[in-house]
Structure 1
Amino acid sequence: MIEQKKQLENAVHDALTIAKQLGVDQAEVALTKSSGISVNTRLGEVENIEFNRDGVMGISVYSNHCKGSASTADLSSEAIHATVKAAVDIAKYTSQDNFAGLLDAELLETNPLDLDLYHPSQHTTDQLLDIAKQCEDIALSSDKRIVNSDGAGVNSHSSIKVYGNTHGFLDSYASSRHSLSCMLIGQQDDDMQRDYSYTSARDMDDLFSPKWVADEAVKRTIQRLGAKKIQTQQAPVIFAPEVATGLFGHLVGAISGTSLYKKSSFLLDSLDTQIFPNWLNIAEKPHIVKGIASSPYDLEGSKTIDRHIIEDGVLQTYLLTGYAARKLGMKSTGHTGGIHNWFIKDSGMDLTGLFKEMGNGLFVTELMGQGVNMVTGDYSRGAAGFWIENGVIAYPVHEITIAGNLKEMFMNISAIGNDVDPRSSLKTGSILIKQMKIAGE
């Protein structure tokens, strides 16, 4: 691994050297090499085995605020030279953009941390297949209502990322990602339902067991059997953790620089204003060891630091790349490439407590469709889950639509549970919203 990283860093260094020789004002190079394996079984048989090995070097040059970009998968000296020259030639024909260019040098990470992100799998293909088969076998033999399977799968991938620019930044780090999943089909009388479960981690040893994944997939599938439609109404709604992350995902999109400078966000001019209840806090921690979204620096080499995203309900920061920051007259926040491990503070209640707090309402475990208008915040999506009566689950529901406006939904969050989904980079428990429109029969 050390030798491979050195070779890739040398390739990036060579590209930057060539760019300087060709007289550009600035240049940056990003190189990623990845490899991995995906295996899938279904009903005890091997369904597919897929190996992948990918790599690409992307080069961007800036001359008089004109940008040119080119890429290559060939890292020979001749190919690198040709690719840099192509980027330089392209820059001659692009329009001048005074906001284009590298991140300011003082924002670059000068002492990257080792976050223990690289844990390559030592499993053979047969061993990975055995894990998938074991998971599926446990699921299929656990309940007679589980009548079929869409299969179990194991994925194991590793990558090396290298970034360098003409400010003198050049660094690399390796990372890995592994997962196990299982999807089942259940039947009760004429009703058939499908659901799944999964586990994901940087280290194979940190994955939940095949039995955990199987049991969770069985439970989720069986619980959906006998689903009903409900009447159109307004009622409180609880979003389960696996769908609650999507609500905060809409927040990420709304406070990201590109949406803001394009004026395509429902949270324009919301910095330092209250957008959540005053008890709600969101913290970002990029340097969690083995964290799913941990990173010593972002894709531009910017420092990543602990931040308060929301404090006492008030928006503390936008999420800005170098380009977006210049467009908005601000500074990069180190979010080129996305967010880094968000932690949403809970209200101290478990899911049972949230059900009791709600009384009667809808517990959403699945969302469908893309009915979210990020300009207005209007929200309308298909949903499935459970109807809650007197604080307990009464029956499963399906074929409904929930609707509202994200601004109002954010302010109407009345509680967040402590049932955090550990698999997500966005750590939140279930979310109780005081009222939403539910369209059913």
Structure 2
Amino acid sequence: MKLIHQIEKEENLLINTVSNTLQLAKKTINCSIEVSVKKTIGFNINIRNNIVENIEFNSDGALFITVYNKFSKGSVSSRDFSVNSIKKMLDIAIDISKNSSSDFFVGLPDIKLLCFNPNNLDLFHPSELSIKNGINFASIVEKEAFKFDKRIFNSEGSFFSSHITINVLGNSLGMLEKYKSTLYSAYNCMIAKEKNIMQRDFYYSTSRKIENLEKPDILGQNTAKRAVSRLGSKKINTMKSSVIFSKEISFNFFSNLIPAISGDNIYRKSTFLLHDLQKQIFPNWLNIIENPHIQQGLGSKPFDDEGVKTTVKYIVKNGILSTWLLNSYNSRKLKLISTGNSGGIHNWLVSNQNISFQDLLENMSTGLLVTELMGQGVDIVNGNYSQGAIGFWVEHGQIKYPVNEITISGNLKHMWLNILSISNDIDTRHNIQCGSILISEMQISGN
């Protein structure tokens, strides 16, 4: 109860700060204005070999003010919420706007798109969790990993975090809304050794509710199992082969679609999908739905960073690209309407063909299973894709041995169209939820 009372007090303070800033602006400046504040409270714990390496406490908040002076914009931020500081911020924002070039497309969102009386998305689940409890959780994870297999000989660290975030946004169009959320995370990375050869791997869990985190003993065992499975890694020859992206990295595969359809890249003509709206870019059985209103969803939001109400919509329907991702500015540049994606995406749900991961392996028969990607090798201008990869070689539908020191490459347009199947082993730890993905062919560079 003490924590809930503290959060309610903090929330009221932030609401009053935004409200007072709007009232002060109304009296002193003749401009449109947007005011937002975000505060995160919590802690991070990191232990290694059962020794607490660091404990970090967070209580970070910032006030953001943006004024629109006709067709010029001025933005400032500060961690000082005092009245004098707010007055100075308003003055500075006005000065910046007066010295900024005019841009016809800047301004507040259309009032009809704003979110008034947001839905309760069940994102807030505070826990009276002590530092001692957090240390104990991280410690159990590491101990269970060591116990799992004698080849686990060292730890790269066990991590636990607990955070509460409060968001408040208001503007001169009459909006003043807020929502708050909790997020708990646990992460562990272990090192396995055999015949002087070492391999590492990790596992993690994240949730809005503390009780929905993976149990610490299971988390530790999963980490150890993954690290041990990497032992005996081999190089493979350069070839073209079928490839499976495992569920742990399938979100990464689809995340490449985000910048390719973002409004800023569209109006700048810096994306390979510039002319592909309402055209087929995936197989006709594949859908991607954005649902910002999933209860306790990791990507759920009642409104975006501008206060525009979020909505359920198709990103891809029957393989056809259905929309761009737009905020108020780039939607005006493109003569369209904001899609409520200022600040990013909200819970992408990728369809699957309701087959198991084992079925997917058998459908591939022989090829590469990728479980980890390295580097930033994606060019959004032309769609070329090249990344370092770690995984396993598969023959006749069975995993044979681990592989490393390879690069996989292709072009995203071809890769997306060449998706043969997606299994139903959906990973819910991201704001893109997807199963493992089978692609008919990619270039593999090895020996």
Q: Secondary structure at the match of 1:10?
A: helix
1-structure distance, mates of 2:347, 2:427: 13
- Which residue of 2 is the match for residue 387 of structure 1? 393
- Contact 2:117/2:177 (CA < 8 Å) preserved in 1? no
Runs of 4+ displaced beyond 3 Å: none
CA root-mean-square deviation: 1.0
Amino acid at match of 2:207: A
- Contact 2:241/2:441 (CA < 8 Å) preserved in 1? yes
2-structure distance, mates of 1:18, 1:82: 11
- Which residue of 1 is the match for residue 375 of structure 2? 369
- What is the correspondence of 1:252-267 to structure 2 with a 5 Å cutoff? 252-267=258-273
Kindly state the Cα deviation for residue 59 of structure 1 after the two structures are TM-superposed: 0.3
- Contact 1:285/1:307 (CA < 8 Å) preserved in 2? yes
Kindly state the Cα deviation for residue 361 of structure 1 after the two structures are TM-superposed: 0.4
Kindly state the Cα deviation for residue 348 of structure 1 after the two structures are TM-superposed: 1.5
Which one of 323, 342, 367 corresponds to residue 336 of structure 1? 342
Residue 77 of structure 2 corresponds to residue 41 of structure 1: no
TM-score normalised per structure 2: 0.97
- What is the correspondence of 1:13-412 to structure 2 with a 5 Å cutoff? 13-412=19-418
TM-score normalised per structure 1: 0.98
Q: Secondary structure at the match of 2:303?
A: coil
Q: Secondary structure at the match of 2:415?
A: helix
Q: Once the two structures are superposed, what CA deviation does each residue of 1:289-322 show, in whole Å capped at 9, x if it has no partner?
A: 1110111111111111111111110011111011
Amino acid at match of 1:316: S
Q: Once the two structures are superposed, what CA deviation does each residue of 1:138-191 show, in whole Å capped at 9, x if it has no partner?
A: 111110110100111101111111100111001111111111111000011132
- Contact 2:352/2:421 (CA < 8 Å) preserved in 1? yes
Amino acid at match of 1:310: V
Q: Secondary structure at the match of 2:148?
A: coil
Q: Secondary structure at the match of 2:104?
A: coil
Q: Secondary structure at the match of 1:213?
A: helix
2-structure distance, mates of 1:24, 1:68: 13
Q: Once the two structures are superposed, what CA deviation does each residue of 1:71-117 show, in whole Å capped at 9, x if it has no partner?
A: 11111111111111110111110000100000000000123011111
Kindly state the Cα deviation for residue 17 of structure 1 after the two structures are TM-superposed: 2.2
Which one of 402, 412, 430 corresponds to residue 424 of structure 1? 430
Amino acid at match of 2:156: D
My pick for the range that moved more, 334-343 or 7-16, is: 7-16
Q: Structure 1: which 5+ runs fail to align?
A: none
- Contact 1:196/1:217 (CA < 8 Å) preserved in 2? yes
Amino acid at match of 1:438: I
1-structure distance, mates of 2:353, 2:30: 54
Q: Once the two structures are superposed, what CA deviation does each residue of 1:112-141 show, in whole Å capped at 9, x if it has no partner?
A: 011111112311111110111111011111
Q: How many residues align?
A: 441
- Contact 1:24/1:62 (CA < 8 Å) preserved in 2? no
My pick for the range that moved more, 230-239 or 308-317, is: 308-317
2-structure distance, mates of 1:84, 1:62: 11
Q: Secondary structure at the match of 1:171?
A: strand
